[in-house]
Structure formats: structure tokens, C-alpha cells
Amino acid sequence: MRIASSPVYLDTSALAKLYVPEPESVRLESALLGRRDLVVADLAVTELASAILRRVRQSELPLEGAQRIYRRLLRDLDSGEYQRAELTPAVHRRAERLLLTLGTRVGLRAADALHLALAMASGARSLLTFDRALRAAALALGILELPGENEVGRG
């Protein structure tokens, strides 16, 4: 994946691929290896915790495995592996404006609006997502570079 602009905001769908084996996980990890410009919000951490627990409920992942993934993610956050995007009242207001502006055009959801607002507030120039709805909303905004999903690991 070629991501020319920096910093890069990782939404939950991208963050998950770095911690849970999924299609494209290996290629994404290789593409991001060594980067120090990755931005993550606590929103993505909470959503990832929910996603791994859903896998436990569906018997796709043992509880101990889910707890290991979560602890590893927290260690990486605490060690400075990622820059942090803070969910502030100003970010909430920006997300609400995005919902009111784009909501009917692209079917923007609340969590996606928060991710977009967090990316913009953090100064990210690129948004890395594998979520089609979020990608459509980001394209409609036209303010963030969106590396193509099919480019992962190709340079």
C-alpha cells in the first residue's frame, strides 16, 4: 500500500487487521511496518474490543485469545506505537455537522462520522479503512487521501 500523506488515521476495520487474523492482515502489517505516523482513537479501541468479543460469542476466538489481543493493543497504545486522536466536544460537533451534511447523501452512520471528525481533528492526511460506508463518506468529503483496498502490500 502506498500512503504518501502523513499522518495516517486507522479506523477500526484497519486496526482490527493488525491484531486479529483477517484477510489482508499480513499485507497490511507489512505495509505499515515501521511507520510512526499512525493515528488511532479510543473509539476504534472500544469498537475493536466489541468485535473481538463478538468472535468469542460466535466461538471463533477463545476468551483468553480475545484478552491477549486486547492487552497487546493497550500495550501498543501505552508504548507510543500510535499517535492518539482525542474525542472532544469539538470533535462531536464536527461529527454532527458531517451527519447533517452527508447523512442523506451517503448514509453516514454516527460512528463513521466520529471517525471522520477524529481523523480531521488529528491532522491526518490519509484515512485507512476497509469499511465501504466510511470510505464512501470520506470520498464524498474529498479531504483525506484514501489508499485503495486492492493496493495493500503492493509497494
Give the residue-averaged pLDDT of 26-33. Answer: 88
Do 111 and 130 touch, CB atoms closer than 8 A?
no
Q: What would the pLDDT profile of 41-63 be if each residue is shown by its tens digit?
A: 999 999 999 999 999 999 999 99
Look at residue 73 and tell me whether its pLDDT is greater than 50.
yes
User: Where do the domains of the chain lie?
Assistant: 8-151
Q: For residue 101, what pLDDT is reported?
A: 87
State the Cα–Cα distance between residues 133 and 123, nearest whole angstrom: 22
Do 14 and 40 touch, CB atoms closer than 8 A?
no
Q: What would the pLDDT profile of 80-123 be if each residue is shown by its tens digit?
A: 999 999 999 999 999 999 999 887 788 889 999 999 999 999 99
| Predicted TM-score (pTM) of this structure | 0.88
At the second CATH level, the architecture of 8-151 is: 3-Layer(aba) Sandwich (3.40)
